[in-house]
Structure 1
Amino acid sequence: MAKTARLGVLTSGGDAQGMNAAVRSAVRAALERKAEVFGIFEGFQGMIEGGNLIRPFSWDSVGGVLQEGGTLLGTARSPDFLRREGRKEAVYNLLLQGINRLIVIGGDGSLTGAQVLREEWRSLLEELVAEGRLEPSYLEEFGFLTVAGLVGSIDNDMFGTDLSIGTDSALHRITEALDAITSTAASHQRAFVVEVMGHHCGHLALMGALASGADFALIPESPPNLDEWEERMCSILRTGREMGRRDSIVVVAEGAQDRHGNAISSAYVEEVLTKYLEEEARVTVLGHVQRGGSPSASDRVMATLLGAAAAEAVLNAKSSDEAVLIGFENNKIVHSSLTECVEQTHKVGRCIHECRFDEAMEYRGKAYKDSFRILRTLIRANPRPPPPNKRRLRVAVMTGGAPAPGMNAATRAVVRMLEDNGHIPLGVKWGFRGLIDDDIEEMNWMAVNGWAPTGGSELGSSRKTPEGAELYAAAQVLEKHGVDAIVMIGGWAGYHAAHKLYEERHNFPAFDIPIICIPASINNNLPGSELSIGADTALNSIVEVVDKIKQSAVALNRCFIVEVMGRYCGYLALMSAIATGAERVYLHEEGITLKDLERDIELLR
């Protein structure tokens, strides 16, 4: 029997992009700790069948899988595991290899199964000993099972983590599809219904609609709050066309329903649009394309960090420790009770099934509710009229510094939220240079239509910081337009210029107004935020290119050096190195010496 720790790693349930990254990380982190690692193929079914489906893994067993979609371990639904006899066989096959530590990567059902196995482990072991299939010594040496769960599911419906492995990649697929559909829909002035996955969670539909600038979304947790929702939806779409939109995009979650619990299918929404809009509508069901393909940079990095944390957790666990779920909350790794996470997840499902939608939204959390509230505002055909006697603030909106992907989406949200709350957005062209030159005009709801998916900055940007007489000119422009506040979306140069205005408040009263900075820089080097707008897109661009370079490098047995941007911040370099499996990364924060280079050259040889 084993003297060193032995652990098994399996993937179960539906596959999700990033599972391979998690498996790779867990295996190598455990091997680094001198543990013995076994790959369990075909999920819980492989555990039941045993034999060659439970194999020892080495460092190289998980080489070259980081960028691969699906799961190298395979996955399968296992009806046998639902029965106690099936779970007994699973325990037997694990103990034949001396395994009593498990890392399970899967969704709600898989993690529930892992929790049940842990609870029954001792009694199943006692039965196996009583039947004479295992020696009595196993009771002392393997009397407990340690479990660490990672949520691998595109649905993002599990408690204990803000984002599950695979969700970000699925959103990439959805956004790409919606962008493509939008262009053809606008060309023909058509309505499209796009159905996305998610089971009974509307995360993919909600975030996909936000990211693409869709015109309507139907999610399970918060159905339309009136019986004649069909007419209301079509009224919004019809008014949008009258305002100048050339397309109508409706995103439907596969678990969407009305407030009475009746399912809302994409086919039914198509019928409704055809009837009320009196035009031809089209349906696109994205299906399993959302689950397939290479994982995004974010999924690779997150899965890598979670996999290493899971290995650490199961190897450090004691017999009295409960099963844990390793998740990401507020961009940090957290350990939660697997039992509690499973129970809370089931509560949401019950709330939706019983039409207790307010409770379901509460369980989803504040960020989810805020996202839905923002979407409901952004999809309006036009803003709500300002309340009588309300003071309407005049807010200047600009972009500053180098352009970053997502600037236009942020500008669109700021302009529409301001106007919907009765205020007046003023677009400043070319950043602070436009402020100096009085290049300002009022913006309205439709001025930012179609901006969500576009790159660059439609307002134009610059690295200009007002100096000397330019400060006086900027102050005059603010006074001329009666500007009450400034929203600057940009990078370090924009922050510096905004701070310059703040410093000059004692000389220029026009600068004594609220100045809000929204971080937008691929460098991700701005204070007050862990992630800047644009950094994730830049990281995905790097990873996509490096994946191609790796193919050439392998074919030619050649070493490639890849230089990335970031100025004096190593974020892009470090994260792309993790996401692509680079052999070495050099960071400004770390520095580099000739001895470092000599050592690295020897390692590469």
Structure 2
Amino acid sequence: MTKINKIGVFTSGGDAPGMNACIRAVVRTAIFSGVEVSGIRRGYQGMLESDFWTMNARSVGNIIHLGGTILKTARCLEFMTDEGIEKAYRNLKSEGIDALVAIGGDGTAKGALRLSERFDIPIMCIPGTIDNDLYGSDFTIGYDTATNTVIEAIDKIRDTAASHNRMFFVEVMGRDSGCIALRAGISGGAEAVLLPEVETGIDELISKLSIDAKNKKTSSIVIVAEGDKSGGAYQLAQRVTEKFDYYDVKVTILGHLQRGGSPSSFDRVLASRLGYAAVNELLRGNSGQMVGLRGNTVALTPLSEALNASKFKLEEDLMEMVSVLSI
């Protein structure tokens, strides 16, 4: 492996709180090690357009507390074509970039895997996504902050639900992953949680809510991941209303509120650890890996394995707890 003189860093896909803390760690770790850094604005789109920014230690000052990403982010279909990926590689070499640190979710990792397999450029990925859905890391950057944002909203919704005889369906992000919904459901004291990974029939849900009504529950919170197979919070609320009139039913869609905000202390530390580790692993000669956290230890997972959806599982004990603790 040739010596790395310049590392390119970029964020791609959906933004996540803590990405700036990660960029900061990558830039300062590289510079501390005598390596130049080029920020790539707007992810793979920026690679195609040579949107590069020569960064120094001051470039990342006063950003650790900011949500979003100072490098911006975008989704880029052109990069997935043969012509697009070849153009991106040529631009990287023209800029003198010897290695890459990619921060993002599964789409970002897929692009990085394809680039590393096609061309001889070292790449390390850092999981930055509120969905927490990459195998090989217990937590992804932004997940903790997003979940806390949901909890703050649920606590406020419960206040008004308890003041009336109301049931709230609260829809949270998670097209393919129920991680936010599951933990928010437990920590928010939800009566039911609907997940993409588990099919919950409408009759089963109504049966649960009927038991709650018989037990004199005067309000109820149902958390729905946006990817739930029942069709989302509005459709569920309508179907429940048609069959069950004990509660006054309301719907709240939290949407992109969950992506924003200042990252939690946990996300800042996680992002800093993973950014620091990614640079050091590149300098040790590693490539094609995702840097994650298992237990309290930084660990590497091959990108092909990190993207293997069949290996990613929700915690069974947490799913069992939802029904037990909501009686």
TM-score range, shorter chain: over 0.9
- Aligned partners of 1:166 and 1:295 also within 8 Å: yes
Contact 1:17 1:291 in 2 (8 A): yes
Q: Determine if the alignment matches structure 1 residue 5 to structure 2 residue 5.
A: yes
Change (3 A) 1:155 1:146: same
Match of 1:329 in 2: 294
Q: Kindly, what percent of the aligned residue pairs are identical?
A: 39
| SS across alignment from 2:321 | helix
* Structure 2 residue aligned with 1:103: 101
2:122 aligns with one of 146, 168, 171:
146
Change beyond 3 A, Cα 1:148–1:4:
closer
Query: How far apart, in 2, do the equivalents of 1:373 and 1:3 lie?
Result: 51
Q: RMSD over aligned Cα, in angstroms?
A: 1.5
Residue of structure 2 aligned with 1:91, choices 84, 89, 92: 89
Q: Is the 8 A contact 2:4 2:98 kept in 1?
A: no
Aligned match of 2:276? 308
Could you say which residue in structure 1 is the equivalent of 2:240? 273
Higher relative contact order (CA 8 A, sep 6+): 2
After superposition, the C-alpha distances for 1:502-554 in whole angstroms (9 at most, x for unaligned) are xxxxxxxxxxxxxxxxxxxxxxxxxxxxxxxxxxxxxxxxxxxxxxxxxxxxx
Aligned to 2:206: 234
Matched, 1:115 2:113: yes
Return the match for 1:62 from 57, 60, 63. Answer: 60
- The amino acid across from 2:234 in the alignment is A
Looking at structure 2, the residues matched to 236 and 113 of structure 1 have their Cα atoms a distance apart, in angstroms, of: 43
CA displacement at 1:322 relative to structure 2: 4.2
Q: Which residue of 2 aligns with 1:209?
A: 185
1:274 Cα deviation (Å)? 1.4
Where has structure 1 moved over 3 Å in runs of 4 or more? none
Deviates more, 1:370-379 or 1:208-217: 370-379
Deviations 1:451-486 (A, max 9, x none): xxxxxxxxxxxxxxxxxxxxxxxxxxxxxxxxxxxx
Note the residue ranges of structure 2 that are not aligned, 5 or more in a row: none
Alpha-carbon offset, residue 244 of structure 1: 3.0
Aligned partners of 1:66, 1:310: CA distance in 2, in Å?
Answer: 18
Residues 316 and 230 of structure 1: CA distance in aligned 2, closer, same or farther (over 3 Å): same
Return the alpha-carbon distance in structure 1 between the equivalents of residues 136 and 233 of structure 2: 31
Report the AA paired with residue 312 of structure 2: R
CA distance in 2 between partners of 1:231 and 1:91 (Å): 53
The secondary structure found in structure 2 opposite 1:156 is coil
Q: Is the 8 A contact 1:115 1:323 kept in 2?
A: yes
SS in 1 for 2:16: coil
TM-aligned CA deviation for residue 178 of structure 1: 0.7
Size of the aligned set, in residue pairs, is 325
CA separation in 1, counterparts of 2:3 and 2:158?
Answer: 60
d(CA) in 2 for partners of 1:217, 1:105? 30
TM-score under structure 1 normalisation? 0.52
Kept in 2: contact 1:190–1:280 (CA 8 A): yes
CA distance in 1, matches of 2:132, 2:3: 38
Equivalents in 2 of 1:200, 1:339: separation in Å? Answer: 18
Establish whether residue 161 from structure 1 lines up as the match of residue 108 from structure 2. Answer: no
Residue number in structure 1 paired with 2:37: 37
How far does residue 235 in structure 1 lie from its aligned partner after superposition? 2.6
Residue pair 1:48, 1:93 contacting (<8 A) in 2 also: yes
Cα shift at 1:3: 7.4
State which drifts further: 4-13 or 263-272.
263-272
For residues 470-489 of structure 1, the aligned pairs below 5 Å read none
Query: What is the letter of the counterpart of residue 302 of structure 2?
Result: S
Equivalent position of 2:321 in the other structure: 374
More strand by share: 2
The CA distance in 2 between the partners of 1:332 and 1:183, in whole Å, is 39
- Cα deviation 1:355-397 (Å, max 9, x = unaligned): xxxxxxxx334x6111111112222x3xxxxxxxxxxxxxxxx
Alpha-carbon distance in 1 for matches of 2:4, 2:156: 53
Q: Deviations over 1:315-345 (max 9, x none)?
A: 221xxx5411000111211011112212x12
Partner of residue 296, structure 1: 264
User: Which residue number corresponds to residue 197 of structure 2?
Assistant: 221
Q: Give distance in 2, aligned partners of 1:223 and 1:3.
A: 51
Report 1:567-586 matches (<5 A): none
Q: Please say if residues 165 and 248 of structure 2, whose CA atoms lie closer than 8 Å, have aligned partners that are also in contact.
A: no
SS in 1 for 2:315: helix
The equivalent of 2:47 in structure 1 is 47
Q: Distance in 2 between matches of 1:305 and 1:244?
A: 48
Give the superposition deviation at 1:273. 2.5
Q: Highest Rg: 1 or 2?
A: 1
The aligned runs of 1:404-483 (5 Å cut-off) are: none
Q: Deviations over 1:401-425 (max 9, x none)?
A: xxxxxxxxxxxxxxxxxxxxxxxxx
Task: State the SS of the aligned residue for 1:191.
Answer: strand
Could you tell me how far 1:232 is from its partner in structure 2?
A: 2.8
Distance in 2 between residues matched to 1:104 and 1:238, nearest whole Å: 48
Q: Letter of the 1:296 partner, please give it.
A: S
For residues 7 and 217 of structure 1, the distance between their equivalents in structure 2, rounded to whole angstroms, comes to 43
Shift of 1:34: 0.5
